[in-house]
A and B are shown apart, each in its own frame.
Chain A
């Protein structure tokens, strides 16, 4: 009799424990399902210049408020694209890797973990996305986030003159941009480029165009000038130019008559002020130089690969945060 009672008590205890474990498990699972995933990135200009068959790597830093989730595993991403907002222009890209950097950013009093999303771009033709979105098609959800702008320049050769000119110096003039809507927001951007250009040929050459390979700038070669000495990278652009420098130009004016003549074996320093169309920061881009051999009037093109002009930790960024519930 006593043994029967003891057996019953034991069975009851086991059942109660099992029920409690099930309840705890359900609570954990439900609470996980109620988590909210927030994703953001710093919008910037992504620029590439490469030969037609070269594959470029696009690295997009994403800030995510969780350190686990479907979006953090490469195998959960079925397809990836760069598109414009209406998805009229679409460029397929291949996910290569997702790397956790260990950096943590505080945005709106919440911690966000930084992950680098790495993609391969096999695009063969030139394509521009002035307002670019990264679209990730996953099993659980599709993510579409504005990353800034993307400019892909595809070329046959970096120099079809075989060394008529060479770049002896290259640096950026970087100043701080003050936002007009909010005086507390300021960021650094590249206001101009300084190039040292040497004519290695035995002929007089005329440079007819120097342009950054970035869709966020107007043509501004006509406003450039030869300088005697190379200024410091953080020198005030207005002081260097000698007149008030306008960061956002408005309407670009192209002066077809502008030519920069360089004698044989001569070297010059040239300051190219940059005229901005959009607000996306550019810190790395390629440059195209077009020039003519005076004697034969033959035209040549030389390209400088995407050069990193500066990096900074000082920016006060505006973040657009995407929110996904029950991920």
Chain B
């Protein structure tokens, strides 16, 4: 009886915990970055982190051969590798009526992400990329930061508002594609010569966004 009560209590507690911390089902994105539907490298030999096998990742760790007393050591798979991407659909409106109608749409560049990070493992202390204001967790080799700083970039604010005429039985879609640079690697963190943490990471820097308007028929 006591055992039954104990089991029942445990089950109720587990159910309660389940509802307190619901499991979120993450939609799978084939690039590993939510904002990019597709990323294609200019050099066909380059790969996204998500497409690298476990053996390739392990090979990267092995190439971090020399130890350090304190700090991070990194092996880079890609450094600012040129790529093109297909991004989000910004707008999709259908007109299933027999009359055209007009909508106003405002595009603001500052609302879009211009960097995307993917991190696996325990690379979750501060990562600082030289020349960039964006900081995520983890510190990486300063030589990389120095390389990145040589690229001249600056942020510009772009806002435009335009009217769209949607014809009867059609759908209008506004979508983004563009050019980006991808950097990825594996890193190890040493403390007194011992590797305490390691992990893989990838960063996608958007350089240019192209906007395209497409109209399709709908029934």
Contacts and interface: CB of A to CB of B under 8 A. Distances in A.
Interface in A200-250: 200, 232-234
Contacts of B133: 104
Interface stretch (A6-14, A87-95, A305-313): A305-313
> Main secondary structure on chain A at its contact with chain B?
strand
A271 interface: no
A311 B158 CA distance: 7
Chain A interface size, as a band, is 35 or more
B167 A166 contact: yes
Interface stretch (A29-37, A69-77, A170-178): A170-178
Nearest to A196: B215
B215 A171 contact: no
Q: Which of A57, A116, A159, A305 has its CB near the most chain B CB atoms (within 10 A)? A: A305
Interface stretch (B6-14, B54-62, B147-155, B188-196): B147-155
B210 A234 contact: yes
Contacts of B163: 158, 305
Interface stretch (B16-24, B107-115, B116-124): B107-115
A141 B178 CA distance: 42
B213 A57 contact: no
A166 B159 CA distance: 25
Contacts of B208: 174, 188, 234, 310-314
Nearest to A171: B212
Interface string B145-187: 0000000111111111111110100100000011100000000
A167 B215 CA distance: 8
Contacts of A104: 133
B177 A313 contact: no
B211 interface: yes
A310 B208 CA distance: 7
Given A166-B170, A168-B215, A305-B162, 5 more contacts: A61-B156, A167-B215, A233-B178, A307-B160, A308-B107
7 contacts: A106-B154, A167-B213, A170-B212, A234-B84, A307-B160, A311-B158, A314-B179
Interface of B: 84, 100, 107, 109-110, 114, 133, 152-165, 167, 170, 177-179, 206-215
